[in-house]
Structure formats: C-alpha cells, structure tokens
Structure 1
Amino acid sequence: MKLINELLTTPEDEYHDFKAQWYEQYTKAELIKDIFSFVNTSHHKDCYLIIGVNDKHEVIGVENDPNRLNTEKLTTYLHSLPIANSHTPKVIVQSIEISDHTIDVIVIKDTNDVPVYLDENKQPKQSKCIHAGQIFARENDTNTAINSSASDYLVERLWKKRFGLDLPIKDQYKVKLSDYSHWKYFELDKIGFQYTLDPDFCMYLEEDDETRYRAESYNLGQFRLSMSWNKLILKYRNRTIDELLVVFMDSATFMTVTPSLGSISPMSNSDMLTFQYYLADSLDFAVEKLILNMKRSSITPNYNQQSKLLKRIVIFKNYNQLKQIKSVLQKQDEYIKGKCAPTKEQLELCRGALSMDFGKDTPEMNQGHIEVMCEEANVSQFINNYLQSEIINNKRSR
C-alpha cells in the first residue's frame, strides 16, 4: 500500500504506468503489448500497471468496470498465447481501496527470461494483430508502438539481462552457478570446476594450511567425523573473484562450502549461543547448491549425508531475515540455552564417534570442544524448527 501511494505521486516510468480502465475486447492486443513491455525491461525489479487512475493521477476507480480480470483469469489468458519458449510472464492482480474507490494493480514480476515475444501471429477478436517475433519493450515512460518492434539497442540490453551480462561479476557468477548441468568437475594438473559454456568461469581447489578443528557441529551425524579443509578459488579468466573455504567430509566422500558462524547473543558475550548458517542469496550458497546438484559421487553428498548436513545448518533468505530472527530469539536466549543444552547421552555419543578418527589427546577430543559442537548443532536445529513453524503458521493465516 505504501509503495502504491508513492507511485500515485510519481510520473510514469520504467516501473509503472496508469490506466483509467481495464482493457476491452477490442484492446486485448494493447493488454498483451503493455504486459510484454514491462516484462521486457532491462532493470531487475517488478513493474506495476495501475488501473483506475487517469493521466492526471486522479483515482477514478474500477469498481464498476465490467472488464476486470483477477489473477487467475489474467494468467489463464496469458497461458493461451503462443509465447516463445513458454516463457509466460508471472502476474498478480491486487485490488486496493483508496480514496473511496477500488483500484486494480497488475504486478508484473521481474524475470531474466527476456525478451518475451510470440512465436506465432496473434490477433484477438476485434483487435490489432501482434506478429511473431515482434518485441515490445519499455524505455522510460514509453512502450514500443503496437505496429513496431523494439530497437536493436533495447533488444541487446534484454539479451544481456537474460544471460546475466549486465550484472556485476559476482552476480554473473551466481547466474552461471545455477546452470548445474554445464559445470564439469576435473582432476588434471589442478582440481576444480569449469563452466563448459564459458570456460572463463573456473574454480580451483587449493590446500588450506591454517590450523583448524577437523570436526565441526555441522558434520555431526555423518558416518565419519574427520574433515579436511581446502580453499576454493573462484576465477574469471586470470582474475580472482572470491575465495571460499570448503571441507571434504565423511571420509572425503563429499564436499561442502563451510557455513558462516552466527550467534543469537552478541559475539562479545562469553556465554553466547552459536549456530552455523548460509544466506540463500549469497555467492557461497550458490556454490553450495551447485555441489548439491552436480550428481557426482566424489563431490556431491548422497540423500542421507545431505539431510544430516542441512539439519545442522540454518538457511536464511538474506541478511535481513538473519537479523530479524536473531532479534526475536535474543528475547528467548535463556529458554533456548536450556532447550539446547546437550544431554550426557549426546555428549557420550559424540565422543564415541570422534574417537573413531581422533586420538584422545587431539583438540577435537577436548571436552569443551565437544560441548560447544553439540550445543551449536542443537541451536541450529532449534532455529530450523522455528523457521519451519513460521512457514506453517503463515500458510494457515492466509
């Protein structure tokens, strides 16, 4: 609602447009053109067709408009069109009460599947014809005319968006990493991964010579608990884009990106409750998802290994969700501490599992480390259960 109020006082641009009324049967070609134009934008944000507002930004409403469509009807209509590669735009129709009127907002979701166009001619009844291959695009406050096609300049920008070429190099890396089937694991003079469609994107494994614990909370539950640390160097041509820590786990049968360490209470607190996490929108997690989806036995965990790994790692949508959840849980830290305190049985099971790989005098067998590992695993599982309950509650409240 706040966003719509802001848009009502903002001149039309590449993100929104005003329409006094819904599209009639003889203007269905204009509906197609307007939606396709907002899909075919080179930015990376949702767009809005605001219906029930005239060119003077006056709210006149659509409550008596006989041509109104809801999300289901508009989506069904778009699916009936001969759209190339079946890249049907995702739209949501929202009705909002404002100034004693109802306005409808068509939210046109951002996508990288551009340009969107028809692969057959389409002429809605009593309407103009839209031709196969005709590309409509939005530039500033103007759509491509119904009898024209977007300029080469605009179309070039759309293809760059589709392949992620308009993004900073780290974001380009994330786009390539999501194309799981075109990454190849190799063991030649070096060991690493190469993107076969563009070999300039390549990741190399190197040994990590830092002294680290060889058992962490997130590998509890695996058959063998000893880990070996490596660095994964992300390269674009000869340029190093990032450097991640990875570990080989469960007798080196699979690899995983090391998660980040978080704490419910401030890190300066001597009695802090720590947990391991990924941010779903991070480059680290993009690499992790590639590993999980490569279907290669020497790199990818099997179903059992993967479920045990992710049980003890929290996956937040983004940093904002991490901050929000920490803020909520900090108010319950004493309760969580009691709930996540490891039992004597859990500590003994952990010690027994560790003894299969480590001598009694190694740092991994230290009682303090075992207690921290077990508590940390419990806290991570507690947060995962909390997030799952939030999802269930949100679904019930809809």
Structure 2
Amino acid sequence: MIDDIKAKEFVVDPVNEEIISLIRSRNEDYYYDFKKEFHKRDEDLLYDIICLSNNLENRDAYLIIGVTDDFEVIGIGETCKSNNIYDFIKSKKIAGDFKPEIEIKNIYDKYEKLMVIKCKATKHIPYYLIERFGRIKDNTIYTRVGDTNPPKDRSAGYNEIEKLWRIHFEREHE
C-alpha cells in the first residue's frame, strides 16, 4: 500500500536514487537544497527555484522538501498539490516570459515521503523577475553560491551574471 493506493508493481524512479545519495552526502551544494517543510511564504519558494535554476553549472538542480538541516529525513506530513506550484510559477512575470522549467515528484526514503522540485537546466537562464514579488527585486539576477542563496537584497556578482549570460548565448541555438 503506497499513499493509500494498492499497487501490483512498484517502480522506483531513477531520481529517487540520486536524491537519496545527495541526502547521504550530508551536505548541500550549488545544485541542491534541503528544506524541513514547505515554504511558509510563496516568495521564499520562488526565490529558491530561481536561485537553483540559475546555477552556474547549468545543470538540473533539486529542492528537496522533508529533510532537516541535520540531514534527517522526516518526510512531508501535509500534501501540497503540484498543480498549485506550477500555476504559481506560471503566474509570475519573468523576463522573456520564460519560466523556470520544473518537475515535481514525490519520492520515498524508507517510509518517508519527500517532495522534490527538479529545476531543469535550460538555455533560458538567467531567470529574473520583471515585476517585484515581495522582497524579490525586479530586474535583479540571483544565483546560488556554493550551498547558500544570497540575501534577497543582493544580486549575483558581475562574474556570475556574465557566466549565466555566456551559458545563455552558447545554448541559444539548441
């Protein structure tokens, strides 16, 4: 019985193994971040998605919900409809009208359910708002530095912005 649904067959998504491996590494990095619970404020969710999507290696990145700061898997108690997150992202005014491409999955570690928001690597980086949302400034490029998102009142540095635009133009004809 999984999520109160009987199944004859249970297939494990390959992302499941990758996420469990990241949790076992007991650290965070530029392309993945752990959260104990769902964001209390929409602006924090959006900010995390933008920072992860704008990672300097232009690789798929993960926001993993249900893991404490001490890397303990506690799972997600409540459910969040993935459609709500997709609709929320679509509603934001982002430059070029290109939204971060995300994929939302529920995965399992033992008996704990985690939510993973995969921020796909695309040619449309850097993502930035053209209309302020809460404390996220408009026309400001944010990126994750190491294992941390910078404060919302500080944009990415010159070199980081240059690298993001270089990636954008190198991938332009894909």
TM tier relative to shorter chain? 0.7 to 0.9
Match of 1:39 among 42, 50, 53: 53
Match of 1:14 among 30, 35, 40: 30
What's 1:338 paired with?
none
Distance 2:151 2:61 in 1: 19
Structure 1 residue 110 corresponds to structure 2 residue 132:
no
**Letter matched to residue 156 of structure 2:** A
CA displacement 1:175-207 (0-9 Å, x = unmatched)? 57x37xxxxxxxxxxxxxxxxxxxxxxxxxxxx
Gaps of 5+ in 2: 1-15
**Letter matched to residue 50 of structure 2:** F
What's 1:159 paired with?
165
**Matched ranges for 1:1-398 at <5 A:** 1-10=16-25, 11-24=27-40, 27-62=41-76, 64-65=77-78, 68-70=80-82, 72-123=83-134, 129-164=135-170, 175=171, 178=173
Query: How far did residue 144 of structure 1 move?
Result: 2.0
**Letter matched to residue 49 of structure 1:** L
**Letter matched to residue 65 of structure 1:** E
* Counterpart contact for 1:82–1:118, Cα < 8 Å: yes
* Counterpart contact for 2:20–2:109, Cα < 8 Å: no
Distance 1:69 1:147 in 2: 30
The one of the two structures with greater contact order (alpha-carbon pairs below 8 A, sep at least 6) is 2
Q: Structure 1-normalised TM-score? A: 0.38
CA displacement 1:331-374 (0-9 Å, x = unmatched)? xxxxxxxxxxxxxxxxxxxxxxxxxxxxxxxxxxxxxxxxxxxx
> Percentage identity across aligned positions?
31
Query: How far did residue 69 of structure 1 move?
Result: 3.5
* Counterpart contact for 2:137–2:152, Cα < 8 Å: no
Query: How far did residue 78 of structure 1 move?
Result: 0.5
Query: How far did residue 32 of structure 1 move?
Result: 1.1
CA displacement 1:67-119 (0-9 Å, x = unmatched)? x241x221110110111111101111111122321111111101121111111
Aligned-partner SS, 2:103? strand
Query: How far did residue 33 of structure 1 move?
Result: 0.9
Gaps of 5+ in 1: 124-128, 165-174, 180-398
Judging by fraction of residues, say which structure has more helix. 1
Distance 1:69 1:48 in 2: 18
**Letter matched to residue 22 of structure 1:** F
Aligned-partner SS, 2:114? strand
Q: Runs of 4 or more off by more than 6 Å in structure 1?
A: none
Of structures 1 and 2, the larger Rg is shown by: 1
* Counterpart contact for 2:107–2:114, Cα < 8 Å: yes
Judging by fraction of residues, say which structure has more strand. 1
Distance 1:97 1:36 in 2: 25
Distance 1:135 1:60 in 2: 33
Aligned-partner SS, 1:18? strand
CA displacement 1:217-249 (0-9 Å, x = unmatched)? xxxxxxxxxxxxxxxxxxxxxxxxxxxxxxxxx
Distance 1:139 1:121 in 2: 22
